[in-house]
Amino acid sequence: MSDEVIVSNINAIMLITLNRPEKRNALNASVVADLHEAVRDAAKDDAIRVVVLQGEGEAFCAGADLEYLLEISANSPEENAADSRTLYAMLSALRALPKPTIAKVHGPALAGGCGLAIACDIVVADDDAKFGFTEVRIGFVPAIVTPLLVERVGMGNARELLLRGNIIDADTAQQIGLVNYVVGPEELDVAAEKLAFEIAERTSPQAVRLTKQLLADTAGMGTVEAMEYAAVYNALARTSADFRKGLTAFLNKERPIW
């Protein structure tokens, strides 16, 4: 892993930091590869309960490195397809990570950078943050991130953001469901840390893993089909060790130690 992505563990929290501040943490091939490696490491490490993603410097992530895109635009269609699949694989792995993920956003989160944020389960932003999918303004298509945005904010809001290519502030992003929490810049670190440790300390790792899998499995189903499918998870959870531990602690008026 290069020094463009820094990984540090604080107790049960993995902190992944994009570290290209001079490029506003723009995504290139090495950053995408490092992010994917960090996500895979988080998935394999049972000691990690929550992943927090952040950016160094003045931006969360300004999207793809445009100089890199210009360079590879001369490559063959097959080479560009392979490069595109690496970005898809990283975002897919982040979204499917069986542990809660938090995007801690300050400054611009644009294009692929905004996609990176919404691939996380929860987005916490300071009120100076900016969000947008500006690809159409430079003749590009926000292809891979589009399904993530539609899932997050609905088709109507997604259409406007994608087709206008405009940039919105954190309050507007929260109103349409793109952001979960907006805080002052001086509160961002504490807010994200508090949320991460709350999840790590107060939730069952097994229950969280199954819940994330349930959400993924039922995403494209109709309501009745999804409820029928979810009944299997309900039965499975009833027989789990974590449920017995949590239920016993609750009945004894104790707090379970996860």
pLDDT reading at 254 higher than 90: no
Distance in angstroms (rounded) separating the CA atoms of residues 21 and 15:
17
Choosing from 4, 71, 78, 135, the catalytic residue is 135
State the Cα angle at 125 between 21 and 146, rounded to 5°. 85
Judge contact between 180 and 124, C-beta under 8 A: yes
As a whole number, mean pLDDT of residues 189-216 equals 96
**Between 4 and 71, residue with greater pLDDT:** 4
pLDDT-based confidence at residue 91 (cuts at 50, 70, 90): very high
Query: What does pTM read for this prediction?
Result: 0.94
pLDDT digits (tens, 9 = 90+) for 5-28: 999 999 999 999 999 999 999 999
Q: Which residue reads 């502030």 in tokens?
A: 169
- pLDDT for res 74: 76
Mean pLDDT of 61-70: 87
Query: 5-201 maps to which CATH number?
Result: 3.90.226.10
Taking the C-alpha atoms of residue 42 and residue 69, their distance in angstroms, rounded to an integer, is 29
Give the residues across from 182 on adjacent strands. Answer: 125
Going by pLDDT thresholds of 50, 70 and 90, the confidence category of residue 77 is confident
* HSE-CB of 92 using CA atoms within 13 angstroms: 7
In the annotation, is 37 catalytic? Answer: no
Question: 152 with 118: CB under 8 angstroms?
Answer: yes
Torsion over CA of 207, 212, 214 and 215, rounded to 10 degrees? Answer: 140
Q: Are 2 and 38 in contact (CB under 8 A)?
A: no
CA proximity to 135, closest of 107, 158, 161 = 161
